[in-house]
Amino acid sequence: MSNHKRIEILKPVGAIALIIAASSIACLAQTRPNIVMIMADDLGQRDLPVYGNTFNEAPNIDKLATQGLLFANAYAAPVCSPTRASIQSGQYPARVGIFDFIPGHWRPYEEVTVPHHEVQHLPDDITTIGDTLQAAGYKTGYFGKWHLGTKPEHLPDARGYHKAHMYAGGGFYSPKFVPEYKVPEDKRLSEVLTDMGVDFIRKNKREPFFLFVSHYDVHVQLDADRDLINKYLKKEKN
């Protein structure tokens, strides 16, 4: 019998609920839990062994699942910017006003078009989960893909995160960041982001922290190290 606990999520957490939860946590003083959120762009639920995939391997995610919860029913936005806007705000993407990736697929002569975004960034009046946890006394960090605006006033370090490095292109093997971050030559993007997260935890382990690591793998471009590619090419297909 599986040790996994299962929980059904019927609707996203609202912004008010986020504020109440964080305020309640603030009252607990030294008992406030540390929070680590890891997001993998374009990773489908059925890509993971814990949800029944018998070909892919994800031993570390398997381990996390045995120690926590598996979501069995949840709403999801189909593309990146609406998903991120929803997570940061605790609101549905339509309420935030972001329906497609920023800048979007706007094609004015198509018979069916997507709505215009009112703004091409997370709206300024949104209180983010980072803002809320900062107000509750947390040290907050954000590393990786943001895709909610590129001007300085729209970046993570202006939207509730004490420490942030936004991925700004360059590919998996020569990533660039804003603010600038010196990347070791022998590390790919996923390793660099993980290292950023580990460093943040080490520096802030004596106080409550909220860490958001936003991975770009397995989003296109679909790059991988040669030994990993060969492993799966040789693996028996189900």
Q: Which of 117, 121, 147, 154 is catalytic?
A: 147
The arrangement of strands across the sheet holding 163-167 comes to 35-40, 209-215, 139-144, 163-167, 177-178
Return d(Cα 121, Cα 166) in angstroms, integer. Answer: 14
| Catalytic-residue membership of 147 | yes
Q: Which of 80, 117, 121, 165 is catalytic?
A: 80
Tell me the backbone φ, ψ of residue 38, rounded to 5 degrees: -115, 125
User: Distance of CA 202 to CAs 12, 74, 95, 181, 190, Å?
Assistant: 31, 32, 37, 18, 19
| 77 conformational bin, left if phi > 0, alpha if psi -120 to 50, beta if neither | beta
* Counts for the chain of helices (H) and strands (E), in that order: 7, 7
| Catalytic-residue membership of 105 | no
Q: Return the closest-CA partner of residue 22 out of 114, 138, 150, 152.
A: 138
**Active centre residues (catalytic):** 80, 147
